[in-house]
Each structure stands twice: as structure tokens, then as C-alpha cells.
Amino acid sequence: MSLTYTAFVSRRLIKYGGVGILGFTFAYIIIGVGIAAYLKAHPPYVPPDVKFGLLPKTVFPEKKFEKKNFTAELPNDKFPVYKDQAKVYVITRPDNTFLALDQDTITAKDFGFATKPSEVKYGVYEFKNDSLNQTLTMNVLDGSFMLRYPYENDQLLLNPEKMPTKEEAVTIAKGYLAGANKFPLDIAEGGERKVSYWKIGFEGLKSVSSLSEANIIKVDFFRKSITDDLKILSSDINGASVSVLVTGSQMEGKKIVEVSYKYANIDRELFSTYPIKTPEQAWNDLKIGNYWPASDVETNNVTIRKMYLAYFEPVSLTNYLQPIYVFEGDGKFAAYVPAVTDNFIK
């Protein structure tokens, strides 16, 4: 065999071998991308791990109500589709009530309450600021508190010279909470700020439609949702668990006349998955009366227009944030149905 022929064959092998290697590499990449895309769209099924064992029953505030007759008119006449499981998150609580009281006493001082508190019932302490006629009631067990000035009885607040704008009211309320280190990260990181207008009346606060009618501005601070489509809802479906009432007064102690703070520390990295009811099962619970009305109506017949999954900010000393189904209907009706299947509830 001549050297010329050997060189010719070698060049051919190099040429077509290189093309073959490139083709194989390209096909390998295409197949790998395809498999990855398929697995992303069709991930392997992982059953719920239920690491926390049986969960405590979701406790809603006590409320008397009469069961309604429900009909559903949902978008496309179909129930929404969800996975058969959802995450349950851990809520951290203070281990020591004495240490919690020490910390809350520091918070009280930051709000201007320097006197020693009195215990009004187990775990609940009341601070007084007599010079400003303010009262601060703190629950050291769950970290909630209520700060109040008796604005209903103050004639000077009825006709303020200048009310703050929406943006100014949010800034005032935010600064007041942040000054006492009560503006947590998941509220600061993109939670909704809802501003509403109110007027002091003989029977308390009355909602009004414009700033020109108002002498109180309510700022609701919603915490960051669990995901884009899974909100954390309080017992007031239209309000947040952290809210501040702002007035038009320039006097110390009268610019902020109420702070309602009910905030649970959710560990978003510590969770377990639990089986949840199907939307159809939750609908059956609603129809037989196994629900809690977050916003009730007088009529006995309610048409449900919307249904979705969310989380309920607990009002009891539970250590878990659990999912709920929310039903919204005519007349601003809204109902909560616990989502975790009954066999995993104590």
C-alpha cells in the first residue's frame, strides 16, 4: 500500500470521523435537553412526606352563622386544578414567656411606654402612657399587640387641617413600626400595602370613598405570599394581620391612633408536604356547612364565583401554617375550608 493512499484514507477518516463526533455530540445535547424538558413538565411523583405527624385542627375565631345554600358558577364551569398535596410550614414561638416579656418590654419602650406593665390575664400585659393617653396590650405568648388612643372621643380629630396622601400615610405607618423593629422582612419584601379611607362617627369608624371625606386612613400591611398564587390570609379577608390607623393630626400621640399587630413567625425553609382535599371535596364541605365565613351575608342563597387555595394566618397558638380553600361569592361572601385531608388532622 502506497504512502499516498494511506494519507488519503487517513484524511477521509479524520474528516468523516470529526463530522460523526460532532453529529453525535449535537444529538446527545438535543436528547438531553429534551429529557430535561420532559422531566420538568412531567416530574416524577413524590408522595407527601407528612413529617410532622398529625396536625392540629385549624382554629378560626368564634362566629355564629347559618349554613347557606350554595350554587357554583365558576370560570369555564370547572373547579380549579391543584396537586394532591401542599406544604405545611413551621411557625416559631417563644420558648420562654419571661424572655418574651423582656423583649416585648423593649418594644413597648420603643413605642414610648416606659412604665411597668400589669398582667391582665395569663401571658397578656398592659402598658400605659398616661401623658399621651395611650394603651398598649401585648400578648407575649403569640407576639401580637394592640396599641390604641381613644380617637372616637377626640373632637380635634374630626376636622383635620390636612390629611396625608396615600404615600405619606404608608410612609408614616411604616416608619412607626420600623422604629420599634416591628416591620419584618416578609412584609418589607414586596407585601401589598392597602390604603383605605375612614371617618369617625357615633358608632365607630365608617368607610368612605375618598380622602376628602376621611379623617382616618387605614394602612394594611400584607406579608409576602408563599408563592405568586398562594396568599396568606387573615381572619379578615379584606384586611391584613398588621394594620395602622393614621390621622391628620400633627400632635404627638395623635398621628398614629391604633396599631393592630398579629404576626406569626413563619419559617419558610422548614416545611412538610401533606395530602389535601380535592376542590370537589372542599366544595362538598362547603355545602354541608363545614366552613368558616370570613365575610358573611344575610341571604340564604349564595352563588360562588371564585375558588382558590391559600394559607390561613392562625389566630391560635399553633405551630403550623396550613393551607385552606377559599370560596368567594355574591355580596362579598367569603368562606374558608381547611385543605389538609381529615385523616391527618387531630
- How far is it, in rounded angstroms, from Cα 239 to Cα 246? 16
DSSP tally for the chain: helices H, then strands E: 5, 18
What does the pLDDT read at residue 37? 65
For 145, the enclosing helix (H) or strand (E) is strand 145-148
> HEC states along 307-328?
EEEEEECCCCCCCEECEEEEEE
Among 95, 11, 86, 24, which residue's Cα sits nearest to residue 55? 86
Picking from 154, 157, 174, the residue whose alpha carbon sits closest to that of residue 259 is 174
The string of DSSP letters for 180-228 reads TT---HHHHTT--EEEEEEEEETTEEEEESSGGG-SEEEEEEPPPPSBT
Residue by residue, pLDDT tens for the chain (346 residues) are 565 655 555 566 565 555 556 666 666 677 666 666 655 666 788 999 999 999 999 999 999 999 999 999 999 999 999 999 999 999 988 777 778 899 999 999 999 999 999 999 999 999 999 999 999 999 998 889 999 999 999 999 999 989 999 999 999 999 999 999 999 999 998 778 999 999 998 778 999 999 999 999 999 999 999 988 899 999 999 999 999 999 999 898 899 999 999 998 999 999 999 999 999 999 999 999 999 999 999 999 999 999 999 999 998 889 999 999 999 999 999 999 999 999 999 9
Q: Which residue has the cell 399587630?
A: 261
Residue 333: name the closest of 295, 281, 307 by CA. Answer: 295
**Residue 14 CA: distances (Å) to CA of 6, 18, 28, 107, 164:** 12, 6, 21, 77, 79
**Which residues does residue 230 pair with via DSSP β-bridges, in sequence order?**
227
According to DSSP, the β-strands at 265-275 and 134-139 are unpaired
Cα–Cα distance between 54 and 274 in angstroms, integer?
Answer: 10
The distance in angstroms from the start CA to the end CA of the chain is: 87
Instruction: Please state, in angstroms and rounded to a whole number, the distance separating the CA atoms of residues 167 and 169.
Output: 5
Q: How many angstroms separate the CA atoms of 162 and 46, rounded?
A: 58
